[in-house]
Structure 1
Amino acid sequence: MIEIVYQTKDFPPADRFDRWREWTGHTHAPVDVSSEHAADFHAHKRALLLGPVTVWPATVQPLVSRRTAKLVRRSDPEAYNLTLTLRGTARATWDGQEAEYRPYELYSQSTSQPCTVWVGREEERTVQFVGVEIPRDLVALPRRSVDRAVGRPLSGREGVGALLAGFLTRLSADTSAYGPADGPRLGTVLADLVSALFAHALDADRDLSPEARRQALTLSIRAFIGRNLHDPDLAPDGIAAAHHISTSHLHRLFQDEDTTVAALIRHQRLERARRDLADPAQRTTPVHQIAARWGFTHHSAFTRAFRTAYDASPSDYRRATHHP
């Protein structure tokens, strides 16, 4: 995965805002920015390149971003920008409309449409957010449908919005585990999630491509499994019922995932247990308690599964991790 960092601290205070303004004014979707903090502007932005999709975590001082009709004519990549606010607030105006956005709400913009965005209030020290730029052609919905959803606040705390928010925050928190080939794959997943979110907002699932629906449902199921690993009764029948699908449909979803539902549950439980065994803060917690915490009801079965997965018993793994 390719990652590029932009930060104003690399420059003298008097030059920081001018350099930031230069960066934002020379992208393929240029904007003009202003700020009451221009005398010593602080901002940090990363660009995570996922094939044609870009994720940009950022922390900035309050500013105003204007994409005018002149700037649209100068350069328009024909993309959608979707932004998850993590800390602070935002407000936008476009085409005679206005909306305000609170933490963990998502707001969207079209690069083809002039708009003005107030990022943060003057009393807020900094604003933190994660943005996504996705080419319009990758959104699996008709453009006329998506344009109806652009600008409206979308919740990042529930439903598909929570899935997208979790994906973005986890991805931006740590990219060290991803290799160059993972970027385009993650971009595909992200495009399907964005499509699903727009469709949910429009109540337009009938317009969503079958592949995007399948991907969104599979991600929802994976998240459900992750939240319920502690339940020893977690099984395909219950997972299917929770998502209002048949068990056979559930198994078909995972045919293309190179795993089965049962194997996924077992792998995630073992990974959580392995993490806890390696945690120095839990070195006095008995192994059987850690196993039970993650849904293993039989200690002997847990020990066999752990040894098969990691070539060591849980106790030996813990000793080797704490005393290499």
Structure 2
Amino acid sequence: MTLDTATPVAEPRGFDAWQDSICDTFVPLHAHCEGHAADDFLGGVDSTSLGAVVLAEVSASRAVVERTPKLIRRADPELYKFGLQVSGDCVIEQNGRQAHLRPGDFAIYDTSRPYRLRFGDDFRMTIAMFPRSLVRLPEKHMAELTAVRLAGDTGLGSLIAPLMRGLGADLGGTRPVIATHLGDAVVDLVTAAFAEQMQRPLEEDSAGAHRMLVAQASKFIDEHLTDSELCSKTVADAHFVSVRLLQKAFEAEGMSATALIRTRRLERCRRDLVDPGCRHLPIALIGHRWGFPDAAHFSRLFRNAYGASPREFRKANGLAA
């Protein structure tokens, strides 16, 4: 796959400044340069926010970056980082696996688990970082796909690579609501790409039946989020199973129906809060129409999910509360 490598990156800086930048942009990390003295090191970091997604272009000379158990204990925001190799090469290590990336390849890794990235000379990587909760796939299956090389010139990868390269070019003037939708598009495509990797023939056993039930129930939940009566029982009744069986199926995939309903509703509220077309709607009304009739409870849940109250979030995105 041929990538456009003409996108401008941040002005090169020395090693200490570069390490500070990657820590400020992503999560606390430990880095060191290889093959040359730190005095000769040049690196750049350029980033922008797309709603809940941080998109960054990172470049440098030969370097090693690590996320250690000690750093994870200090701060664990539970994020995924999705890296597209633009130039040079990189080896990502996590969960006992190694992914050797060359231009056009990509891989995902988890900030809640130790990892190591070893970069070759004059590398460039575009990285999207976002909350793990936005990836609507079982975490136990995602854990099997971290540090696994995926090609960017086949399947859904051929759609993701040019999108990320294009977004990394220049988004300084993008309106918040457009940026949020673009970030959602990145997460949706990444999710689809890894769902594609998870596909297996459904065996005629309980595990296969459970996966099918979870898929059908998740679709039903998405289609009925505005229903104030939506809960585990209504989902179970709609699929002619007991609540206990529904819970067992979701637990087998590392989640719960109740948590999924809450997460999807909060996502819809987040989108409305940065949509200029909804600026006239009171915050309480936005919460109510997506299934949160208690304004105080909605505010607490939203702050827990996004680190700011709905009012603060709307104001930070340029819309009056």
Q: TM-score under structure 2 normalisation?
A: 0.57
Question: Alpha-carbon deviation of 1:70?
Answer: 0.4
TM-superposition CA deviations, 1:244-266 (whole Å, max 9, x none): xxxxxxxxxxxxxxxxxxxxxxx
Whether contact under 8 Å (1:24, 1:32) holds in the other structure is no
**Alignment match of 2:33 (pick from 32, 35, 49):** 35
SS at match of 2:137: coil
Correspondence for 2:182: 186
**Alignment match of 1:155 (pick from 151, 154, 172):** 151
Question: Alpha-carbon deviation of 1:210?
Answer: 4.6
Quick one: structure 1 residues 85 and 146, their matched pair in 2 at CA, closer, same or farther if it must change by over 3 Å? Answer: same
Question: Alpha-carbon deviation of 1:98?
Answer: 2.3
Correspondence for 1:95: 95
Whether contact under 8 Å (2:47, 2:57) holds in the other structure is yes
* CA distance in 1 between partners of 2:162 and 2:128 (Å): 13
Give the partner amino acid of 1:110.
D
Whether contact under 8 Å (2:97, 2:148) holds in the other structure is no
Quick one: structure 1 residues 30 and 52, their matched pair in 2 at CA, closer, same or farther if it must change by over 3 Å? Answer: same
Correspondences of 1:298-313 after superposition (within 5 Å): none
Identify which range, 41-50 or 63-72, moves more after superposition. Answer: 41-50
**Alignment match of 1:20 (pick from 5, 18, 32):** 18
Correspondences of 1:71-150 after superposition (within 5 Å): 71-120=71-120, 124=121, 126-150=122-146
Calculate the aligned-residue CA RMSD, in Å.
2.7
Specify every segment of 5 or more residues in structure 2 that has no aligned partner in the other structure, as ranges: 1-7, 201-210, 223-321
TM-superposition CA deviations, 1:288-323 (whole Å, max 9, x none): xxxxxxxxxxxxxxxxxxxxxxxxxxxxxxxxxxxx
* CA distance in 2 between partners of 1:42 and 1:63 (Å): 10
Give the partner amino acid of 1:146.
M
Whether contact under 8 Å (1:28, 1:75) holds in the other structure is no
Give the partner amino acid of 1:170.
G
Give the partner amino acid of 1:167.
L
TM-superposition CA deviations, 1:194-244 (whole Å, max 9, x none): 110110122269676659x9xxxxxxxxxxxxxxxxxxxxxxxxxxxxxxx
Quick one: structure 1 residues 39 and 160, their matched pair in 2 at CA, closer, same or farther if it must change by over 3 Å? Answer: same
Specify every segment of 5 or more residues in structure 1 that has no aligned partner in the other structure, as ranges: 214-324
% identity of equivalent residues: 30
Whether contact under 8 Å (2:108, 2:147) holds in the other structure is yes
* CA distance in 2 between partners of 1:25 and 1:188 (Å): 24
Question: Alpha-carbon deviation of 1:32?
Answer: 0.5
Question: Which one has a bigger Cα radius of gyration?
Answer: 1
Give the partner amino acid of 1:196.
A
SS at match of 1:55: strand
Question: Alpha-carbon deviation of 1:180?
Answer: 2.8
Quick one: structure 1 residues 88 and 28, their matched pair in 2 at CA, closer, same or farther if it must change by over 3 Å? Answer: closer
Are 2:164 and 1:168 aligned?
A: yes
TM-superposition CA deviations, 1:11-64 (whole Å, max 9, x none): 6xxxx2112223334556211000034113211221110111111122221200
Q: TM-score under structure 1 normalisation?
A: 0.56
Question: Comparing both structures, which one devotes a greater share of its residues to helix?
Answer: 1
